[in-house]
Amino acid sequence: MVNWNGDIAKLALPTPFAVGDVNVYVVKGDALTLIDTGVKTKQSKEVLTYGLGELGLKLSDIEQIILTHHHPDHAGALDFFDKEVPVYGHKNNQRWLTISDEFLETHNRFFLDYATKFGVAEELKNNLIHYRDEIKFLSERKLQGFLAEGDELPGLPGWRAIETLGHAQSHISFYRESDGLMIAGDHLLAKISPNPLMEPPLLPGGDRPRPLLQYNASLQKFLGISISTVYSGHGSEVDGDAVADLIQYRFERQHNRAMQVKSMLQDKPLSAFEVCQQLFPKVYLQEVGLTLSETIGQLDYLEDLGEIETETQSGVILYSIA
Ligand SMILES: [Zn+2]
């Protein structure tokens, strides 16, 4: 049963992904707002419609949509809503919401180029790129307006956007100072540490983002905010009293994992892909994109600490202990 908790209602929608259900939130304000949409599947639409029904609402009652980030389980179902329903989010959502041929090409070139630099096995390189027909879980939309750090959310007085880049280059969270509520998308989850996913540079020819370093800085940000409850994109809420411990725990786990990666470089320099194979011996073949993102995150972290250094040989970056 879906219930209002004050002016917020949480709906868990099914996804075809390993992560399971995604949480979207209906928030009452000057405009009836849906935070995130779920995926674009018939099943998700049924569950969303049913859940809104339990709140006495219809899909068509939603007056605006605000996105935490562009991933298909969060932004995929924009097509369920009339084109007149405005959509807001970080400006970095846009390239993923209307995927131009140009972006698709830039994206694929970036990943093929990096596959070479990271030493990815030839037969796996194509698993890193996207094809037009794969984008079926996404919707074509233009954002009505962009939200950046500190912006008040349109139609929701008292709520502000907090940039929480890392898991995605478009990721923002929403905070209401008056009662300390935080709607955090995939930034802070009770049970899962989100993958710092690799994305192409935001400006053509620019440096690639270092998503794990961004993510850690964004997590640090939450430590400086008085939070009563975190409403997450997957799983249960995180109580405000537990936020600091959970973040500390995430930092320690990640640091230990990085040190495990460093120890792999003891004997000889390795490419990111060779580290990835050791770190994820069972799953790297099925999930090369996810496991490589996670590996590169750890290598970026170690490099940032000065623990390791790089050297390029025949176009492949080799990591060794500094
Ligand atoms: Zn996500």
Helix/strand/coil for 321: strand
Percentage of the residues of the chain whose pLDDT score is greater than 70 = 98
Sign of torsion, CA 260 264 270 276?
Answer: negative
* 75, 138 contact by CB (below 8 A): yes
Q: How many Å lie between the centroid of ligand 1 and the Cα of residue 313?
A: 34
Q: Ligand 1 centre from 29 Cα, in Å? A: 25
**Domain 4-98+138-252, CATH number (from 3.60.15.10, 3.40.50.850, 3.40.50.720, 1.10.3720.10):** 3.60.15.10
Measured in Å, residue 15 CA sits from the centre of ligand 1 at: 12
CA of 275 to the centre of ligand 1 (A): 24
In angstroms, what is the span from residue 72 Cα to ligand 1's centroid? 8
Say how many Å lie between the CA of residue 190 and the centre of ligand 1. 14
The DSSP string of 22-45 is EEEEEE-SSS-EEE----SSHHHH
Q: Ligand 1 centroid vs 194 CA: distance in angstroms?
A: 8
Distance 173 CA to ligand 1 centre (A): 12
Q: Which bin fits 124, alpha (ψ -120 to 50), beta or left (φ > 0)? A: alpha
Q: Tell me, in angstroms, the distance from the centre of ligand 1 to residue 46's CA.
A: 22
Name 125's Cβ contacts closer than 8 Å, sequence gap at least 6: 112, 115, 116
Distance CA 108, CA 289 (A): 12
- C-alpha of residue 84 to centroid of ligand 1, in Å: 25
Residues 6+ apart with CB under 8 A from 314: none
Length of the chain: 322
For residue 182 the two structure tokens come to 């935080």
Q: How far is residue 163's CA from residue 154's CA, in Å, rounded to a whole number?
A: 16
Domain with CATH 3.60.15.10 in the chain: 4-98+138-252
Q: Say how many C-beta atoms besides its own lie within 10 A of residue 20's C-beta.
A: 12
What's the gap in Å between 74 CA and the centre of ligand 1?
7
* Ligand 1 geometric centre to CA of 239 (Å): 21
Measured in Å, residue 168 CA sits from the centre of ligand 1 at 7
| Cα of 184 from ligand 1 centre, angstroms | 11
User: How far does the centroid of ligand 1 lie from the alpha carbon of residue 69, in Å?
Assistant: 7
Question: Which residues in the chain come in under a pLDDT of 70?
Answer: 131-137
Distance 13 CA to ligand 1 centre (A): 14
Return the number of other C-beta atoms located less than 10 Å from residue 322's C-beta. 13
Q: Rounded to the nearest whole angstrom, what is the distance from the C-alpha of residue 68 to the centroid of ligand 1?
A: 9
Q: Ligand 1: distance of its center to the CA of 318 in Å?
A: 29
pLDDT value, residue 99: 84
Q: Is 179 helix (H, G, I), strand (E, B) or coil?
A: coil
Q: Rg for the chain (alpha carbons), in Å? A: 20
Report whether 233 contacts 183 (CB < 8 A). no
Distance 167 CA to ligand 1 centre (A): 6
